[in-house]
Amino acid sequence: MDIKQRRWWAVGLWVVSLGCQGAQFALVADRVIDGDADEPLEQVAVLVDDARITGLVDIDAVSDSYKVISLPGQTLMPGMINGHEHPLLYADDYQNAHLTGSSAYKALLGLATLQRLLDHGWTTIRVMGDGDVFYGNQDLHRVISEGVFEGPRITGAAHYISITGGGGDVNFASPEQMLIADGLIADGPDEIRKAIRQEIKYGSDWIKLLVTGAFHSVGDDPKNVAFSPEELAEAVAEAGRHNVPVAAHAHANAGINQAIRAGVRSIEHGTYLDERSIALMLEYGTYYVPTIFVGDYYAGTDKLLAQAKNDDVYLNYRADWLALIGKAHAAGVRIVVGVDLGGYNIEPEAYAREFAALAEAGLSPMAAIQAGTSVAADMLRWSDRVGRIKAGLLADIIAVPGNPLEDLSALESPAFVMKDGKIIKYPD
């Protein structure tokens, strides 16, 4: 039977194949972006056996035992990895929302967010802390990995660790109010050590530090450094004793450079980086997650309590920042897609606009796609699991309309999504 005949046979059978263990699929589209090669592959079928990719073969060499899933006019690529997200944040005014929504409410909205992200091709999410006193995001991680609900695979930190008065504290309440902050507050090496041990005890596999002030919180300055060099050193040492990497939220230049020197695995935002930061990231092998689009999304609106801070960067400094991101990429710094938009109130198509923002900063479309697939997987230390279309890896594969190398907006609405070899979304 030829490919076309088998396609219709497959369409008839694909519904009963959903969730069926041991299914063998051959995915055929116009081209394959595998996450490694500089050019897309053509005339190639991707073979999937149960949860894993078993190989890439010539489309004429697919054996009859495979159900062919034909995706004409589409491009196959690895499932997208969002290297910086907060699925439980559900309002622009997230610190007020933190004080009024229960952990369960946040988790339920977060589940809806995660399922919409999976449906839009995001098969892996690194959580960079959520405004939740408890561990709602870890519970979501748990129910998804137990197979109770569909969702992306989750890694990351349950909370952001902040100093008193820092970006993870609630700075707009009167001193009489005894509030529990959205972040985990720790001052001094002893408290930081304890906070990190607690995070790891309850399942965080990354530690997230707010090394400088933040843009979307009230009452702190992103141009100031929060943690002392002594606190930073102890944070990285303690996480390292548990083999857990550290992600450093850092805007201020001194904070970026101190965090790199302390040995963090990734710099988040890195807004005021300079040539020295680029040299240090290369020297220390630090990954860089710029999170550009989130500020564009809010620039010039009146949605944020801390609107002026956001607009200062995006209306006055953005071009300089993007030039530095391009310079870092050209020098060899590994850039990763992180979206940072938060959860429930965001339209799911918006997240993929980070790819176009990276292209604007000077990454080629292929490099931008790799930043959200293979390079992101390397940062997660998951290159043996996800991020590439390669034999042996988990079958997290999406198909997007047309050719994303010509138009990155194709990534906003994938027509086909497979996670762990299971079909999540199929074209109409």
- Helix or strand holding residue 235 (H, E): helix 229-241
Q: How far is the CB of 18 from Zn ion (least distance, A)?
A: 34
Contacting range for Zn ion; rule: CB under 5 A; set: 75-83, 126-134, 253-261, 276-284: 126-134
Q: How far is the CB of 86 from Zn ion (least distance, A)?
A: 6
Q: Is 92 in the site for Zn ion (CB under 5 A)?
A: no
Of 74 and 82, CB closest to Zn ion: 82
Per rule CB under 5 A, count of chain residues that contact Zn ion:
2
Of 35 and 348, CB closest to Zn ion: 348
Of 128 and 389, CB closest to Zn ion: 128
Contacting range for Zn ion; rule: CB under 5 A; set: 127-135, 141-149, 184-192, 193-201: 127-135
Q: How far is the CB of 69 from Zn ion (least distance, A)?
A: 36
Determine how β-strand 24-32 pairs with β-strand 44-49: antiparallel
Judge contact between 57 and 45, C-beta under 8 A. yes
A 10 A CB-CB count for 201 gives: 9
Contact positions with Zn ion (CB under 5 A) in 335-364: 340
Residue 204 CA neighbour count, 13 Å, CB half? 30
Q: Which residues contact 96 (CB under 8 A, 6 or more apart)?
A: 305
Q: How far is the CB of 408 from Zn ion (least distance, A)?
A: 22
Of 238 and 340, CB closest to Zn ion: 340
Tokens 């689009």 -> residue: 293
Contacting range for Zn ion; rule: CB under 5 A; set: 4-12, 122-130, 193-201, 307-315: 122-130
- In the bound state, the residue with its beta carbon closest to Zn ion is 340
List Cβ<8 Å contacts ≥24 apart for 170-176: 170/95, 170/98, 170/99, 171/217, 171/218, 171/219, 171/220, 172/95, 172/218, 172/219, 172/305
DSSP character string of 38-69: SS-B-SEEEEEETTEEEEEEEGGG--TTSEEE
Of 47 and 341, CB closest to Zn ion: 341
Of 34 and 85, CB closest to Zn ion: 85
- How far is the C-alpha of 182 from the C-alpha of 220, rounded, in Å? 14
Of 70 and 162, CB closest to Zn ion: 162
Closest alpha carbon to 339 in 35, 115, 80: 80
Query: What are the residues binding Zn ion (CB under 5 A)?
Result: 128, 340
